[in-house]
């Protein structure tokens, strides 16, 4: 069930995911944590994937690199990168893609930094693993990439260890590691979540500047709509393992079409809501992935649900024009009656 914007909004995609499904075994049978997800990312573009915890956004990003933790598995779909379906590659071939062509910036920089080795050692190891650079050339490239991410004293910082750096500087080193081999796509999985607000803004500005200067694409994973609005060209909104709405970030976040996106935006904190009695919230809780309805997964929490339809019948993508689409029976009905 491919979103109509996959081909329409991205004429020549660098990354194209079609019908991706990720499952984990349970005593009751396979449970899909990502279900039939499709999207595309063009070269030099930033696509933001937004959703609450448990929406499947991070698992989707890991599936791109074939890093789904066992016993999970990719049960269906395709992941085409630069014309090649990554799901058909051997593990040896896939290792040449990770780090060199597609790299990842994690939420916690300590996940990608070894506390026992200096920053310089870690950078040069990555460079020499994925390129034919010698020791001197790898060191030169390490200095260059540290300079790119904002270290004024890059050569001296090569001798530093992760524990000697602040959280913001460690995340800059993580970005340097991701960029060291000149990837075409950087996956940023909640890269600012553990940082204070001022450092968050610095990291977002850095990623934007590097994207524009170097030309790589970004797949940006976040639950924070404000952060996504500041960096993404387009967005895909996920809920309970499904993509429910997609389109240009400015349009979707200004005038959301799907009831879930509307409620998600209404529940985002603002100065006005902080002065009020409390933040508006979405009633109820996200469904258990093993207990999803046959129809729309948001039905139980949706004030606009159509009785006898939304819970029973799976919605299809409705093309809203201008590169936008949403998966909602209400929108289907409105367009049919227009």
Furthest-apart CA atoms within the chain: distance in Å: 68
pLDDT at residue 6, as a whole number: 47
DSSP string, 247-277: EEHHHHHHS--SHHHHHHHHTS--HHHHHSS
Asked if the structure places residue 187 within a domain, the reply is: yes
The answer on pLDDT for 219 being more than 60 is yes
CATH, residue 84: 3.40.50.300
In a domain? residue 307: no
Read off the pLDDT of each residue in 298-323 and give the average, rounded to a whole number. 94
Residue 334 has pLDDT above 90, yes or no: no
Tokens of 32: 């899909």
pLDDT at 206: 94
Whether residue 317 lies inside any domain: the answer is no
User: Is the pLDDT score of 312 beyond 70?
Assistant: yes
Q: Structural domain of residue 154, as residue ranges?
A: 15-268
Do the beta carbons of residue 325 and residue 317 sit within 8 Å?
Answer: yes
Flag whether pLDDT at 202 surpasses 60: yes
Arithmetic mean of pLDDT over the chain: 92
Which tens digits make up the pLDDT trace of 147-178?
999 998 999 999 999 999 999 999 999 999 99
3: confidence class by pLDDT, cuts 50, 70, 90: low
- Residue 214 resides in a domain: yes
Phi-psi region of 326 (alpha: psi -120 to 50; beta: other; left: phi over 0): beta
User: What's residue 280's pLDDT?
Assistant: 75
| Per-residue pLDDT tens digits for 93-123 | 999 999 999 999 988 888 789 999 999 999 9
The Cα 104–Cα 145 span in angstroms is 15
Lowest mean pLDDT among 102-111, 141-150, 228-237, 293-302: 102-111
H-type alpha helices, the chain: 5-8, 57-64, 91-97, 119-130, 135-148, 154-157, 167-179, 197-214, 225-231, 249-254, 259-266, 271-275, 329-337
Per-residue model confidence (pLDDT) at position 258: 97
Q: How many domains does the chain have?
A: 1
pLDDT at 14: 97
In a domain, 286, yes or no: no
Q: Give the pLDDT score at 8.
A: 47
- Whether 187 has a pLDDT exceeding 90, the answer reads yes
Kindly state whether residue 301 falls inside one of the protein's structural domains.
Answer: no
102 membership: H or E segment, kind and range: strand 102-105
Q: What is the pLDDT of residue 7?
A: 46
Tens-digit pLDDT profile for residues 235-280: 999 999 999 999 999 999 999 999 999 999 988 776 555 555 666 7
Q: How far apart are CA 77 and CA 20, in angstroms?
A: 4
d(CA 68, CA 74): 8
User: Count of CB atoms within 10 A of residue 91's CB?
Assistant: 7
Does a structural domain hold residue 322? no
In a domain, 227, yes or no: yes
Of 214-223, 265-274, 312-321, where does mean pLDDT reach its minimum?
Answer: 265-274
How far is residue 143's CA from residue 146's CA, in Å, rounded to a whole number? 5
């Amino acid at each position: 069930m491919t979103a109509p914007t996959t081909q329409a909004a991205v004429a020549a995609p660098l990354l194209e995911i079609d019908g991706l499904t990720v499952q984990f075994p349970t005593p009751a049978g396979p449970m899909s944590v990502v279900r039939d997800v499709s999207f595309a990312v063009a070269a030099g573009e930033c696509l933001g994937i937004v959703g609450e915890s448990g929406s499947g956004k991070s698992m989707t990003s890991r599936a791109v690199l074939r890093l789904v933790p066992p016993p999970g598995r990719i049960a269906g779909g395709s992941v085409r990168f630069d014309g090649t379906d990554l799901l058909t590659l051997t593990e040896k071939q896939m290792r040449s893609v990770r780090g060199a062509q597609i790299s990842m910036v994690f939420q916690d920089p300590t996940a990608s930094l070894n506390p026992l080795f200096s920053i310089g050692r870690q950078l040069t190891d990555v460079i020499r693993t994925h390129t034919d650079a010698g020791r001197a050339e790898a060191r030169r490239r390490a200095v260059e990439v540290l300079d790119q991410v904002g270290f004024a004293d890059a050569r001296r910082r090569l001798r530093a260890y992760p524990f000697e750096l602040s959280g913001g500087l460690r995340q800059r080193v993580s970005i340097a590691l991701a960029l060291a081999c000149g990837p075409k796509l950087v996956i940023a999985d909640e890269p600012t979540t553990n940082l204070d607000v001022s450092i968050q803004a610095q990291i977002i500005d850095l990623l934007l500047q590097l994207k524009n200067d170097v030309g790589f694409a970004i797949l940006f994973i976040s639950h924070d709509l404000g952060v996504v609005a500041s960096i993404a060209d387009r967005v895909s909104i996920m809920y309970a393992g499904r993509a429910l709405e997609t389109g240009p970030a400015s349009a979707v976040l200004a005038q959301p079409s799907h009831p879930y996106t509307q409620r998600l935006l209404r529940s985002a904190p603002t100065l006005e809501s902080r002065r009020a009695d409390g933040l508006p919230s979405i009633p109820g809780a996200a469904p258990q992935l093993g207990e999803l309805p046959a129809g729309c997964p948001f039905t139980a929490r949706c004030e606009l649900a159509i009785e006898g339809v939304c819970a029973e019948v799976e919605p299809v993508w409705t093309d809203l024009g201008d590169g936008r689409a949403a998966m909602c029976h209400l929108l289907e009905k409105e367009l049919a009656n227009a």
